[in-house]
Amino acid sequence: MKNIGVLALQGAFREHIDIIRSLGHKGVEIRKVEDLNSIDGLILPGGESTVMGKLLVDFDLKEILIQKIKDGLPVWGTCAGMILLAGEIADDKTTHLSLMDIVVRRNGYGRQLGSFKVDGVFKGIENKIPMVFIRAPYIESVGKGVDILGEVEGKIVAAKENNLLVTSFHPELTDNLEIHGYFINMMDR
Catalytic residue, from 79, 96, 161, 180: name it. 79
Task: Give the nearest distance from C-beta 52 to ligand GLN in angstroms.
Answer: 8
* Per CB under 6 A, 166 contacts ligand GLN: no
User: C-alpha angle 116/117/122, rounded to 5°?
Assistant: 130
Task: Give the nearest distance from C-beta 128 to ligand GLN in angstroms.
Answer: 21
Q: Which of 20, 28, 44, 80 binds ligand GLN (CB under 6 A)?
A: 80
C-alpha distance from residue 163 to each of 9, 13, 134, 166 (Å): 22, 20, 25, 10
Yes or no: say if 41 and 74 are a contact pair by the CB < 8 Å rule. Answer: yes
> Which one, of 149, 151, 152, 153, lies nearest residue 166 by Cα?
149
Q: Which residues, in sequence order, are CB contacts of 54 under 8 Å at separation 6+? A: none
Is-catalytic flag, 170? yes
Residues 24-63 that bind ligand GLN (CB under 6 A): 46-49
* Per CB under 6 A, 9 contacts ligand GLN: no
Is-catalytic flag, 172? yes
- Binding footprint of ligand GLN on the chain (CB under 6 A): 46-49, 79-80, 83, 106-107, 134-135
Catalytic residues: 79, 170, 172
